[in-house]
Amino acid sequence: MADLVRVERREKGVAWVTIDRAEAMNALSGAVLEGLCVAAQSLRTDRSSCLVVLTGAGEKAFCAGADLKERREMTEEQARARVDLIGHACSLWSRLPRPTVAAINGVALGGGLELALACDFRIAARQAQLGLTEVRLGIIPGAGGTQRLSRLVGVARAKELVLLGRRIDATRAHEIGLVNEVVAPEELEAAAMRLADELAGCAPISVAKAKEAIDRGIDVIIDEGLRIERACYDVTLTTEDRNEGLRAFAEKRPPRFQGK
Ligand code: COA
């Protein structure tokens, strides 16, 4: 079961996670979802990685969303439980205490795009197609898509995609801020690894706390957001890495952060 989601440790502290079901466009079967949850749970406590990359096997699909063949056989109750599970997987991914990037190597549709939206960054291969096309199946995005997309690109653009069930290409996705970068397919891996290079110069606890401050602060009034920011800041104040940052500055050398 876990083989459908492969976790590899790569150089530069990168955990590389691949949905390995290319023959079904990496669709989210129950087994894939289980694998995604297990991977997220193990990465949560893994202090050796500085960046988590999520991608799909093959050249065609990042992830084509919910497994529509499994779905056809389900009762309403089972379908409800399955949507809960997709939402749970997205939430686990969105709460990982280190940066995550979706390396979108092909189509990212429905639950596949919802998963990419649960990541911090999205890099798309030029041929990728993205969409929350659920209204074309008589449903709506149910694993965070309506909420995360509108927060990311604004309500008007989110409505274009969601209400019309539109599929857009990577260039358009970049124009509206849905993806951070568009690259040639053969460049996708290198583009993700470049993020790891940048993160090598950043203190891991700072990065985790900055992520938490942004994610928890986005939905609350600003005074509460400022309190959240301050609480996150206070955690960094007592770290060894903060002292190392100051020492390195004084000694005019790059810092050697240890995540402590
Ligand atoms: N669930 C289950 N199987 C899927 C799937 C999904 N979401 N998406 C694709 N597949 C399967 C196809 O059924 C096909 O299997 P088969 O060879 O047994 O027939 C295989 O993956 C290849 O897909 P195919 O449609 O032949 O490839 P394509 O390149 O012509 O099109 C897609 C690829 C992804 C554009 C197209 O399959 C598609 O639109 N899928 C549905 C996506 C969707 O609506 N997702 C939202 C779910 S909420």
Instruction: Report pLDDT digits (tens) over 182-209.
Output: 999 999 999 999 999 999 999 999 999 9
Q: Which of 8, 34, 134, 251 is catalytic?
A: 134
**In this structure, what token pair is assigned to residue 202?**
């950043």
Burial label, 106 (beta-carbon count in 10 A; 0-12, 13-18, 19+): buried
Look at residue 3 in the predicted model and tell me its pLDDT. 87
Query: Would residue 160 show up in a list of annotated catalytic residues for this protein?
Result: no
Listing DSSP states for 66-91 in one string gives B-HHHHHT--HHHHHHHHHHHHHHHH
Query: Which residues lie with the beta carbon below 6 Å from any ligand 1 atom?
Result: 24-25, 27, 60-61, 64-69, 107, 109-111, 133-134, 137
Q: How far is the CA of 64 from the centre of ligand 1 (A)?
A: 6
Q: Within 13 Å of residue 114, how many CA atoms lie on the same side as its CB? A: 30
Q: Are strands 14-19 and 5-10 parallel, antiparallel or unpaired?
A: antiparallel
How far apart are alpha carbons 81 and 174 in whole angstroms?
A: 33
Look at residue 47 in the predicted model and tell me its pLDDT. 87
Over residues 169-174, mean pLDDT: 98
Closest C-alpha to ligand 1, atom 13: 24
How far apart are alpha carbons 189 and 6 in whole angstroms?
A: 16
Nearest to 130 by CA among 167, 159, 105, 163: 167
2, pLDDT greater than 60: no
134, pLDDT greater than 60: yes
Q: How far is the CA of 26 from the centre of ligand 1 (A)?
A: 9
Q: Tell me the pLDDT band of 36, cut-offs 50, 70 and 90.
A: very high
The pLDDT tens digits of the residues spanning 96-112 come to 999 999 999 999 999 99
Give the position, in ligand 1's atom list, of the atom nearest the Cα of 61: 34
pTM as predicted: 0.96
Give the position, in ligand 1's atom list, of the atom nearest the Cα of 111: 48
Looking at every residue in the chain, the average pLDDT score rounds to: 97
Residue 255: strand, helix, or coil = coil
Q: Can you tell me which residue has the tokens 């700072």?
A: 206
Query: Would residue 244 show up in a list of annotated catalytic residues for this protein?
Result: no
Q: Tell me the pLDDT band of 251, cut-offs 50, 70 and 90.
A: very high
90, pLDDT greater than 60: yes
Give the position, in ligand 1's atom list, of the atom nearest the Cα of 69: 2
Closest C-alpha to ligand 1, atom 41: 64
Look at residue 105 in the predicted model and tell me its pLDDT. 98
Look at residue 233 in the predicted model and tell me its pLDDT. 98
The pLDDT tens digits of the residues spanning 5-35 come to 999 999 999 999 999 999 999 999 999 999 9
Q: Tell me the pLDDT band of 155, cut-offs 50, 70 and 90.
A: very high
Look at residue 120 in the predicted model and tell me its pLDDT. 98
Residue to mutate, 25, 72, 168, ligand 1, most ligand atoms under 8 Å from C-beta: 25
Give the position, in ligand 1's atom list, of the atom nearest the Cα of 134: 48
94, pLDDT greater than 90: yes
85, pLDDT greater than 90: yes
The pLDDT tens digits of the residues spanning 108-132 come to 999 999 999 999 999 999 999 999 9
175, pLDDT greater than 80: yes
Q: Which of 34, 70, 114, 160 is catalytic?
A: 114
Q: How far is the CA of 24 from the centre of ligand 1 (A)?
A: 6
Q: How far is the CA of 125 from the centre of ligand 1 (A)?
A: 19
Closest C-alpha to ligand 1, atom 32: 64
Q: Which residues neighbour 205 within 8 Å (Cβ) at sequence distance 6 or greater?
A: 235, 236, 239, 241, 259, 260
What's the DSSP call for residue 28?
B
Q: Tell me the pLDDT band of 176, cut-offs 50, 70 and 90.
A: very high
Give the position, in ligand 1's atom list, of the atom nearest the Cα of 129: 35
Q: How far is the CA of 246 from the centre of ligand 1 (A)?
A: 53
How far apart are alpha carbons 205 and 198 in whole angstroms?
A: 15
